[in-house]
A and B are shown apart, each in its own frame.
Chain A
Amino acid sequence: MEKKRLYWKICCIAAIFLCILTFTPLVIPQGIATPELAGVPYSLWTSFIITVLLVVLTYIGTRVHPGMQNEEEDV
């Protein structure tokens, strides 16, 4: 249970970190479209990866969320 709590906290911190990162010049440099990845502009491919990572984090969250312990009680 304690481990799950820790993993869940790590997931939350990672999700917040990804959100903050999105709004920095690292992802949205104003007026800059390079470097491209397979022809895709910079801000689009970086933010696409962030979106996928957020969904992956959500999946990991379902596995480590401490509330899943109480699932049996749930109707």
Chain B
Amino acid sequence: MIFWVWVFGLIYAGLLVFASLKSYKKNRSSEEFMMAGSNIGLTLGVLTFAAALFSTFTFLGMPDFFRINGVGAWIFLAVSDGAMVFLLLWFGYHIRNKVKGMEFRGVSGLITRCYENKLAGYVFFLSAFLFLIPYVGIQIQGIAIFMDAAFPGSFPAWGWSAGIVLIMLIYSEIGGLKAIIFSDAIQGLLLLVVIWIIGWACLNHFGGIGPMFDKIGTVQEDLLSTPGPQGLLTPQFLIASLIAILMIPVTQPQFTTRIVVMKSMKTMQLMAVSLGAFAILVILPTIFIGMYGADLYSEYGRDEFFANAFLYDQPDAVAALAIIGLIAAGLSTTNAQIFALGSELRGLLRGNEKSIMRNTKIGIFVFSVIAFFFSIIVFDQLVLLARVSFAGTGIMGPMIILGILSDRKVSPAIIYLSLVGLIVFLSSLAGFIPDMYFGLRLDLILFIILGLVAVISHLTGKKLQLISPETDQ
């Protein structure tokens, strides 16, 4: 296997270097560095969005989620993604219209301008920081676990994590967002190919889709229906997850940035459709891998399942591809998130452009270091932590949508309530307060309350008067 890892690893590294150098320009402006010149075409747009969205969370997390919770996992992610791409069409249109003719400096900067209130930008940045960093950390950890299983004893897990963070920093520093987008394209394709090769091998283990579910029915029948053996996938959990995933393009800055930097409205819209198709293609084989795990490794822990299904049970070349595919999946998402945090920081900074860029780069470095430390200390199920990340940033959704869509002077109440919502949600995660009230999940209650506040704020907001030259008003 080592031979194949070198072969695929060198090809992959070569492509990353190529992407970085192709994007490198001397004396580039900060706009070019942070926003890739806002000129991204359809193919690159789909692949970068997909690579940022489908990470180790999909590559490792979803097979594990299917293995433990059964077929309802499809509703959790695929149906939610289907709805999300439809929302992307609607939201993408509005945010692109909003930023037309102005320099886009991240959602924090935009939302500060929309509300004419700095607190709005700070609250958004705080939520992005608090919920993206642990998510980045656990993905780096996922890669490190996998590498440790592939090369036991060669490096400590933190050594792999440090290496990943270093690679990410180097090529984003050289090429900026454009390098990240080029490398995302390579990584998105690689992820799709690898997940299908492994998924296909797992499906062949059963001899087809029908026999696969027949076999699972005899092993653990609860996997074939909701809420699954652990009773997790209840309608309420799935609805709250749908809302959290729907909010991804609105509240996760790496996606909002990608919507804005697309070349045209039409390209952005076609990207949404293609992304939906990509989501189906990429999630489908994770069912096969999950069912394979349920059949052979139902009693095993997460790490043993990954090591067996992705490495030990595969031919050497496929196992090597899985390693590179996983690195690609993790790297593309983590660098997109870290870079987006840098971009958000830039939106909040004031001063001359040179010092803003310097501080942004320092910020990216600091965020990477914090994510590295999280990768060493965090331990959780990939999918559930990702869901917490989506829900945590999703709390900001009503504030952002109201700010972008409303043509009225709205009350700043939604900003303060979003901050309160964030604190309440964090308190429940820390175990200080319960996460269920009156039989309802706390995240669902927060979505409903903040959504209602946003609607009321819009309806009670003062209509903005256009200045008419004739009346001089």
Contacts and interface: CB of A to CB of B under 8 A. Distances in A.
A16 B273 CA distance: 17
A28 B236 CA distance: 12
Contact of B242 (A19, A31, A40): A19
Contacts of B225: 28-33, 41-43
B235 interface: yes
Interface in B197-237: 208-214, 217, 221-222, 224-227, 233, 235
Contact of A23 (B78, B81, B238, B287): B238
A2 B229 CA distance: 50
Contact of B269 (A31, A42, A54, A68): A68
A38 B210 contact: yes
B273 A28 contact: no
A64 B58 CA distance: 32
B239 interface: yes
Interface string B49-86: 00000000000000000000001101100110111011
A44 B93 CA distance: 32
B104 to A, nearest CB: 12
A28 B225 CA distance: 7
Contacts of A74: 96, 100, 264-266
Contacts of A28: 72, 75, 225-226, 233, 235, 238
A1 interface: no
B280 A51 contact: yes
Contacts of A41: 71, 213, 224-225
Interface string A1-34: 0000000000110010011001110011111110
Contacts of A51: 74, 78-79, 81-82, 276, 279-280
A50 B213 contact: no
Contact of B273 (A24, A29, A43, A59): A59
Contacts of B78: 47-48, 51
A36 B224 CA distance: 10
A52 B214 CA distance: 24
Interface residues of A, number: 43
A62 B214 CA distance: 40
Contact of A43 (B72, B86, B264): B72
B211 A12 contact: no
A62 to B, nearest CB: 4
B297 to A, nearest CB: 20
Given A57-B86, A71-B266, A43 B276 contact: no
A23 to B, nearest CB: 5
B193 interface: no
Given A33-B221, A41-B224, A58 B89 contact: yes
Contact of A67 (B85, B209, B242, B265): B265
Contacts of A32: 225
Contacts of A70: 97, 265
* Most chain B CB inside 10 Å of its own CB: which residue of A23, A44, A47: A44
Contacts of B72: 28, 43
B4 interface: no
A38 B273 contact: no
A12 B83 CA distance: 10
B155 interface: no
A17 to B, nearest CB: 11
Nearest to B287: A44
A44 B85 CA distance: 20
Interface of A: 11-12, 15, 18-19, 22-24, 27-33, 36, 38-44, 47-48, 50-55, 57-59, 61-62, 65, 67-68, 70-71, 74-75
* 3 nearest CB pairs, A to B: A39-B210, A54-B82, A55-B276
Interface of B: 71-72, 74-75, 78-79, 81-83, 85-86, 88-90, 93, 96-97, 100, 208-214, 217, 221-222, 224-227, 233, 235, 238-239, 242, 264-266, 269-270, 272-273, 276-277, 279-280, 287
Given A52-B82, A58-B82, A74-B100, 20 more contacts: A15-B83, A18-B83, A19-B83, A24-B235, A28-B72, A28-B238, A31-B226, A39-B209, A39-B211, A42-B225, A47-B78, A50-B82, A51-B280, A54-B79, A55-B85, A58-B85, A58-B86, A58-B89, A61-B269, A62-B269
